[in-house]
Structure 1
Amino acid sequence: MLIGEVARRSGVSTRMLRHYDALGLVRPTGRTVGGYREYSAEDVRRIFHVESLRSLGLSLKQIGLALEDPAFTPSALVGDLIRWTEDRLEREQELLKRLRAVDASAPTGWQGVLRIVELMQGLDSTSAARRQQAVLARPESVAVPAELLAGAVLSESDPHVAGALCWALARSRGDGVAMLAAGVRSEDVDIRRRAVRAIAGMSEAPGATVVLAEALGDPDTTVREHAALALGRRGVTAAVPTLVGMVVEGSHDVDAAEVLGTLSRDPGSADRITTSLVDALAARTADPAMRIRVAQALVELSGTTVPEVLRQLTHDDDRAVALVASAFVAVLEERFAEDRADEGS
């Protein structure tokens, strides 16, 4: 069968068939008297074999190895194809994300498009300083899609860059909290932590309290603690159990005690907080270090029963606990005297 007939039946152009011949992939078995290529039935089957492998994404060099190398196994070939395809899809997904980000910015001219592309390239840098600079150097006139900033926040590991991104997200036109909320529900604990930290910093944003309240039930301690601190500063008493637990465990206990003190200004919450801390003191696991932390938290509270609890601690078996409690009792008495003096003036 001559090359023209093979091309017509196989759908492979004569130019490609000559290229296959030059590479040694499919060489015609014979030649006519006039020197024309003549393909046998086996040659045609090999052409279809080459085309099948090409359809899977193999290069011509890889096809040559697959056809000639006895050690080139189908399982290895398929495994390589899977990895190459996954890499290609990842690159195409990244390209799609970039195109959508540019489209979402609603650019009116090429200058706006170039600014967004420049920002995305800066955020892809391996240098944290360059990523931060890319965010902070953005001109005010360039509208950056909130989706782009939120996605960068959830993937950013450097706290300084994350802070700059959160600042930019808060100033963007989109609903940053709604876009970060998906991160709070991520299976990746690092993403959940970043999302909660970012939302905690958006104190005035609508919807933040609802998302943070959901995070109080997170299985990760760090996520719960960040949510509790942010909610407590907003006056949400649902955070009290987590905040008390932070004091007991010694995890950001100073911050937790400060927030509990703010919440205790509400008379209805003061007794509840004091009772929770007293219950912790009564637990068998209340070691001296923990009793000192509880005492430090109690002195921040506004409850009327606090002085009596601290006086009881002045008789603690551990000398360090007793001394700390005595010092706090003196602080409360001084505070009480100053309040009385202010009332009389």
Structure 2
Amino acid sequence: MDARRFRAPRPIVTVAALLCCAGLLSGCSDSPSARSGESGEKEDSTTRAAQAAVPRAARAVDDLENGYLKVIEDVLPSVVQIMARNDLGSGVVYDGQGHIVTNAHVVGDEETFRVTTANSEDTITAKLVYSYPQQDLAVIKLDRVPRGLKAARFGDSSKVEVGQIVLAMGSPLGLSSSVTQGIVSATGRTVTESRAEGGTGATIANMVQTSAAINPGNSGGALVNLDSRVIGIPTLAATDPGQGDDAAPGIGFAIPASTVRTIADQIVRDGRVTESGRAALGITGRTVVDEDYRVAGVAVVEVMAGGAADRAGIEPGDVITRLGDTDITTITSLAEALASARPGERTTVTYTRDGSEKTVDVTLGEQ
């Protein structure tokens, strides 16, 4: 409990007394009947204002509800259910040619899928175009394009603000065409997925945090603003280790639309990701602990020939402890530090070799 004390608001009667005093000072010569008449007029005015506020509030509720209904009508037809052999998730219609963008962990190792659109119970077969686990994104393509297939419109991730109302659309727990509501809770989050239960283990930067419920089956669906624009692809929910890794209510994350478009455009155009935009050191590493069994850095196991680390003189056996101004204690912390950097960016790497600490300049490569 916070020990600070807060001053309670002054009682209304005090304010009323002050108003009365102000009235007396400005009109001491008024007769009682005149003052009574003015009081009555003020009361009538207040009553009218209060009565007018009721329909205004009702109209505001109606406007918001109608806004929700319009967004759902606009976007839900672009959200599909994807069924793999042993898994189920959601996807978003990317274009009129039948390309569907979803999460890499939804497609897993499968090559073929059954897809159900929002306006039909018939299933359509689809094939994998390309999966990019490093960003947990994938594109599949319908074997036939059904009549009326509607591509979603994607928004500008840079304009997403904390407090915006958003809707999450997908198939949580297999309940197709479900919609939940919340707000944007934060932006710019860097999150590392678990590898458990089919996760890719990817570290993803600039994710949108939302309070809209995201449950198993929502993955790959749409996080939508009230302009009917997809601002993100719901991907994972936070877990609470203190509760046995159960989902932490109201904390979900979506890959921002800008990242989705960058990756999906390359897959649709080239059949693969040609420019990831993800910085890399060009090493294989593992977390190491000190003599007190505390995490102490990332040991370099292998160095990619010609990569950033190789060019900087980093060797197998070195233990990386810092990247730029960020302390590195685990392989996850290294991945998160790299996720916020860009290929070609110059930084420093601090590492230990044979008990001696060294710092070198590094030009980051691309993953």
| Shorter-chain TM-score range | under 0.3
CA radius of gyration, larger in: 1
Normalising by structure 1, what TM-score?
Answer: 0.27
Bigger fraction of residues in helix? 1
Normalising by structure 2, what TM-score?
Answer: 0.26
Relative contact order, higher structure (CA 8 A, sep 6+): 2
